[in-house]
Structure 1
Amino acid sequence: MTAQLLIGPVLRRVDGDRATLWLETSEPAQVRVDADGTGAGSAQTFSAYGHHYAIVVVDGLALGSATPYRLLLDDRQVWPESGSEYPPPVIRTRAADDRDQPVSLVFGSCREATPEASGRRLPPDALDAYARRLMADPEARPDTLVLLGDQVYADETSAKVRRFLRRRRRNGHLGPTDQVVAFEEYTKLYLESWRDPEVRWLFSTVPSVMIFDDHELIDDWNTSASWRADMARQPWWRERISAGLASYWIYQHLGNLSPDELAADPLFQKVSTTDDATELLRDFGNRVDDPESAHNTDVPYQWSFALDLGRTRLIVLDNRCNRVLTPGARAMLPAAEWDWFLDRAHGDYDHLVVGSSLPWLMPHAFHHLEAWNERLADSHKPRVAALGETMRRTFDMEHWAAFGKSFAALGELFRRLGEGGPEAPGHRVGAGGAYGAPASISVLSGDVHHSYVARADFGHAMATPVYQLTCSPIHNEVPLPMRPLMRAAWSRALAQLARGLARTASVHRPALRWKRLAGPYFGNAVGTLILDGPVATALIEGTTKAGELFEVASVDYQR
């Protein structure tokens, strides 16, 4: 049969004169990318669970250029589509010496499927709106799109997917009738979401990196050890977690890796050279979810990743899969992965950007409540610990504040980097001489279904400004009754009440303070961070009822 292009191409990494593109086809095929005669690449599709995928490395691209490309399956052009009204897809590379070239990152999280597919009347999709604006001005392409979790919703499915699930449940496939379990079911989520016409074009011409949050697997994924134990008793859970992680690895994680990292990844080398990778990936999904893995000195598989764009370093952290959930020793990252993060956080760059699906700096009242709850859940009194655990799971108390040691460690890292000086871990020698502090530190986050900008205050003057930039949702909504509470959580009065409660459990005051500068905004939104010389500019844009973008907040900061 003739292979058809099901999803993609999705332009993922652009590293120097090389780029990677990901796609899914209906049948096995030879895939070729022709970048206007200046760059090319080819790959054979690999197969798993009856599906066919390819990731193509394109070599020899001209530096400092925007090169149109064509995608061919078995020598037939399938992208751009014949008669397409959209601008031609291009691969844009940075200049050979890009130290003075600005870096632009577009970011956000929490995107349900298109309105037609979701069955819910949601406000206009901010990613669709951004794509339409970019179509009108393709030269304004950002360097990278950073998607910070909940790219698909395995536990909040559309009417179309639910119909498919009901048919499968009647045929004996275990699981809830409204949530996906098997790999085949996960594929429907990506097919539904990533074939949105505007988003499909956007993905084909703007590089993207991605990290999961909970909804790629299930709401409240890895909230606590007790949560894991309860889920393990569900007869369908082993298949769900294995298929969920395998599908995430294929659809999202592979594209986060550079060509060199792909070549060095043992799993990818096995998967791409075997006739059928189903059992390899099923075993992989089970193995990387091993609840004992967080206690080991080695991380079984690292989902966090890093890349450099000019003088900007982007580090994106896994806030979900590799958490340490042991009461009294909770950590957002296990020791080996934290050490990796520390190593990447030091080096020769001007701006540090940390991608974290969960916000580091939350509304003050929520922060104090989560810190108080962690202390209750760690109590040596069984009834108190049980109450704390119930509250943790009922009210989603699982952000950085609920992993207090990790919250403090991240703040301490930023303080030491931001103070600079020859003894600071961030000290390095740049072209202009010795300097020890980044021009800016920005934490990009989503999850909480409202957008805001906050600045950290470490109690003394620091060379480096540290900002929390939260943009969520791209396409979802907060129930109206919840909005007053979320807005009040930023108020001084409610924060003082929550802080008083935290003191009753002997929770120490955080070593830093933070001030909200913009927000909260509750509509669908997309964020942009522009790093130009010493200046960082954060922009959050919401969508109008007509599906156009408008400015919600704009903040400049610099060393």
Structure 2
Amino acid sequence: MDDRFSSQLPDVLVGPILRRVEPRRLVLWLVASRPLSLRLTLHPATAADVSIALDDSQCRCLALGRHAHAHLVDVTLATPLPQDEAIGYDLRAGQPEGGETGIADWAPHLLYGDETRPSFVIKSRLDSVLHGSCRKPHHLSRDGLARADAWLQERHERPAERPALLLFTGDQIYADDVAGPMLSAIHELIRRLGLWGERLEGAVVDDSEALYAAEETYYRRECLLPQVESTEALRERFFGGVEKPVFTTDNAANHLITLSEVLAMYLLVWSPTPWTLIPGKTPELHEEHAHRFGEERPVIEAFVEQLPRAARLMAQVPTLMIFDDHDITDDWNLTAAWEETAYGHPFSRRIVGNALIAYLLCQGWGNDPGRLNEPIVRLQTLLEQHDDDGYLPRWRQDALITDLLRFEGWEFCLPTTPKMVVLDTRTRRWRSERNRFRPSGLMDWEALTEFQQELLDEPAVIIVSAAPMFGVKLIEGVQRIFSWAGKPLLVDAENWMAHRGAAQVMLNIFRHTRTPRHYVILSGDVHYSFVYDVRIRHHEDSPRIWQVTSSGIKNGFPDTLLDWFDRLNRWLYAPWSPLNWFTKRRRMQITPFIPDRAKAGERLWNGAGIGLVRLDGQGRPVEILELGADGVTVSFCEKSR
């Protein structure tokens, strides 16, 4: 750990990112190079300015390393802030030599035009929402967050046109699929900031430093991932005996392993500042890996060029998040057999647990700080007990991981109009009782019961489900065939219809007489976008359900393959097709919306970007757009029944 550069580090490395914003509450998240003494100032257009010197109860600080400190600002206001108007804000950081600096000093890239401070709008109702998932830095597309920022820049002076929320619906990072230049930058940043190290059990390397120095650390990490006797049946069942690590991703060559690696990646995908602190050297690589590194470098450089816009968007719009598999690892908790294998080995358990700790700190904490207070307290204790060499205590890190794997409380709700219910579809799974190799339900019976309780007597609701509740029937059918063959991991068989019990309970919730009349379901995951209008067949007073899927922010689906899936789905599952009676949702009438820029008959839109949904006073969509990362805007148009 090298302190030589500490005096050259900027005060703030990442953020601030706006998280929960309510009339009487404001939550922000940032990472600084030192513990900051902060003063929050608020500047409403029609009310008096507010200045609050933040104490320990209003600003919590966790040391991620010698020169990296995560801050969560959570302020309760005595006087409510006005709604539906722009409110400027600043975080003033006290300086050791005296005086203060503000956002305009240390993060001018977060400001529009001649602004002196960023601003936000507290909407009296959820009238428009930006949403998307699947942001992979080394995908060849441009960044959908940069497009959303450009869209907001045109409207930021008109509060009524600004979105109420920015929702990340999963795969905010790809911990299991990392480009070589990104992994190299991660290691440079770990050293520059002195992020804490860790000791490893059940691995071929003893600790994090040995891992970073290992010959296999770039493009050969599948050799370092655990391969034990307990995985033989898993490999035989899923891959026909082909040698695979515990982790089933096809892109495990640079799979993140340590907590510091995952934390460093969050810093590098959310802010341009950390990139200015590292030299960007090329590590020593074998010839074939050096060639791949060279091909990936310009893609990562293009991603970094757009980061100021992504950071500005998250500083100006309240931002909420929920995990999906790639935030942790591909196929996370897909089957009971996967769980038994991954959690039964100390090294794979640590890898999954480290990503979950990083999610807690970087994503989950800002969604609902009170709900996550207990795990945050345990995390703070872990981080404070590093030894003189900067290593975390292994037993305490493992204990925290055990607690997080058992934790029930990642889901959250917003008391907005309409109410928003954000689902955890990864950790409370309904495991197959007949075959542990069959896909688990995305939520178990108890979690679905709690979900129903949140809906009772609400006139309208917005549901955030990482995977679409109503997906493409043909693709779900293909996944079902592979599941019957005992190979669900080959096709990522994760959909709401894959488990009979979970599917039936979910469909019954929509038919319950005390649940809402209007549902908007926001999803991602699948790397293409679509909209469905769903109603109950032969039901005069059917609720109306809009399944709105936007994916990915920086990702996509193979064009030719998606075209075939789209075409075959239209043929095989046309309204008159008898195949509809073999689906679990046969009692639901599903009508697709048509993308206005699609080729004849297309219902699925394949293009990186971010979704925008505008809602009327009853919580019904009046406009559904996909803001393409390439600058093209696609409107999904309702098809006449």
TM range (shorter): 0.7 to 0.9
Which of 509, 527, 531 is 1:449 aligned to?
527
1:539 aligns with 2:624: yes
1:153 aligns with 2:242: no
**Partner deviation per Cα, 1:26-45 (whole Å, 9 max, x = no partner):** 22223332223325362242
**Residue 46 (structure 1) aligns with:** 62
| Deviation larger for 231-240 or 468-477 | 231-240
Task: Give the distance between the partners of 1:235 and 1:266, measured in 2 at CA.
Answer: 24
Tell me how far 1:538 sits from its aligned partner.
Answer: 4.0
The within-5 A match list for 1:79-478 is 79-81=103-105, 84=109, 86=112, 87=115, 88-94=117-123, 98=124, 101=125, 103-113=127-137, 118=138, 120=139, 122-138=140-156, 139=158, 140-163=161-184, 169=211, 171-172=213-214, 175=225, 177-195=253-271, 196-232=307-343, 236-257=347-368, 261=371, 265-269=373-377, 271=379, 276=384, 282-289=398-405, 300-309=407-416, 311-328=417-434, 330-347=440-457, 349-371=458-480, 376=484, 388-390=485-487, 392-416=488-512, 424-426=513-515, 437-438=516-517, 440-459=518-537, 460-478=539-557
- Point out the structure with max Rg over C-alpha: 2
Tell me how far 1:399 sits from its aligned partner.
Answer: 1.1
* Amino-acid identity (%): 22
**Partner deviation per Cα, 1:244-267 (whole Å, 9 max, x = no partner):** 000000000011116x546xx323
Residue 320 of structure 2: SS of its match in structure 1? strand
Tell me how far 1:489 sits from its aligned partner.
Answer: 4.7
Task: Give the distance between the partners of 2:260 and 2:506, measured in 1 at CA.
Answer: 38
**Partner deviation per Cα, 1:472-501 (whole Å, 9 max, x = no partner):** 111112223422233135323267999869
**Partner deviation per Cα, 1:500-535 (whole Å, 9 max, x = no partner):** 6996xxx76643232222331001122122222134
1:62 aligns with 2:178: no
Tell me how far 1:93 sits from its aligned partner.
Answer: 2.5
1:553 aligns with 2:632: no
Task: Give the distance between the partners of 1:185 and 1:275, measured in 2 at CA.
Answer: 15
* TM-score, normalising length: structure 2: 0.71
Which of 584, 588, 600 is 1:512 aligned to?
588
Q: Is this contact kept in 2: 1:364–1:489, CA < 8 A?
A: no
Q: Say if 1:69 and 1:171 are closer, same or farther in 2 by CA, change over 3 A.
A: same
**Residue 434 (structure 1) aligns with:** none
**Partner deviation per Cα, 1:349-403 (whole Å, 9 max, x = no partner):** 43211100001111122233445555x3xxxxxxxxxxx322x111111211112
Tell me how far 1:326 sits from its aligned partner.
Answer: 3.4
Tell me how far 1:171 sits from its aligned partner.
Answer: 2.4
Task: Specify every segment of 5 or more residues in structure 1 that has no aligned partner in the other structure, as ranges.
Answer: 294-299, 377-387, 417-423, 427-436
**Residue 24 (structure 1) aligns with:** 31
Task: Give the distance between the partners of 1:19 and 1:548, measured in 2 at CA.
Answer: 32
Amino acid at match of 1:414: F
Q: Say if 1:52 and 1:283 are closer, same or farther in 2 by CA, change over 3 A.
A: farther
Amino acid at match of 1:548: G
Q: Is this contact kept in 2: 1:165–1:180, CA < 8 A?
A: no
Task: Give the distance between the partners of 1:354 and 1:30, measured in 2 at CA.
Answer: 38
Task: Give the distance between the partners of 1:130 and 1:226, measured in 2 at CA.
Answer: 40
Q: Is this contact kept in 2: 1:455–1:517, CA < 8 A?
A: yes
Q: Is this contact kept in 2: 1:373–1:402, CA < 8 A?
A: no
Amino acid at match of 1:454: Y
Residue 543 of structure 2: SS of its match in structure 1? coil
Q: Say if 1:494 and 1:143 are closer, same or farther in 2 by CA, change over 3 A.
A: closer
Tell me how far 1:73 sits from its aligned partner.
Answer: 2.9
Q: Is this contact kept in 1: 2:166–2:320, CA < 8 A?
A: yes
Q: Say if 1:32 and 1:355 are closer, same or farther in 2 by CA, change over 3 A.
A: same
**Partner deviation per Cα, 1:83-142 (whole Å, 9 max, x = no partner):** 556243113224xxx4xx5522111111122xxxx3x5x222222111012122203321
Task: Give the distance between the partners of 2:443 and 2:61, measured in 1 at CA.
Answer: 34
Q: Is this contact kept in 1: 2:448–2:506, CA < 8 A?
A: no
Q: Say if 1:532 and 1:539 are closer, same or farther in 2 by CA, change over 3 A.
A: same
The RMSD of aligned alpha carbons is: 3.1
Task: Give the distance between the partners of 1:246 and 1:156, measured in 2 at CA.
Answer: 18
Task: Give the distance between the partners of 2:368 and 2:403, measured in 1 at CA.
Answer: 20
**Residue 193 (structure 2) aligns with:** none
Tell me how far 1:230 sits from its aligned partner.
Answer: 3.7
Q: Is this contact kept in 2: 1:69–1:89, CA < 8 A?
A: yes
**Partner deviation per Cα, 1:185-243 (whole Å, 9 max, x = no partner):** 10222122111101111111100110111111111111112223343466631221111
Task: Give the distance between the partners of 1:498 and 1:232, measured in 2 at CA.
Answer: 43
Q: Is this contact kept in 1: 2:613–2:624, CA < 8 A?
A: yes
Task: Give the distance between the partners of 1:41 and 1:372, measured in 2 at CA.
Answer: 60
**Partner deviation per Cα, 1:417-451 (whole Å, 9 max, x = no partner):** xxxxxxx323xxxxxxxxxx53x211111111110
Amino acid at match of 1:191: L
Amino acid at match of 2:607: G
Task: Give the distance between the partners of 2:419 and 2:434, measured in 1 at CA.
Answer: 33
**Residue 283 (structure 2) aligns with:** none
**Residue 20 (structure 2) aligns with:** 13
**Residue 275 (structure 2) aligns with:** none
**Residue 490 (structure 1) aligns with:** 569
Q: Is this contact kept in 2: 1:153–1:189, CA < 8 A?
A: no
| Paired residue total | 496
Residue 53 of structure 1: SS of its match in structure 2? strand
Task: Give the distance between the partners of 2:418 and 2:76, measured in 1 at CA.
Answer: 23
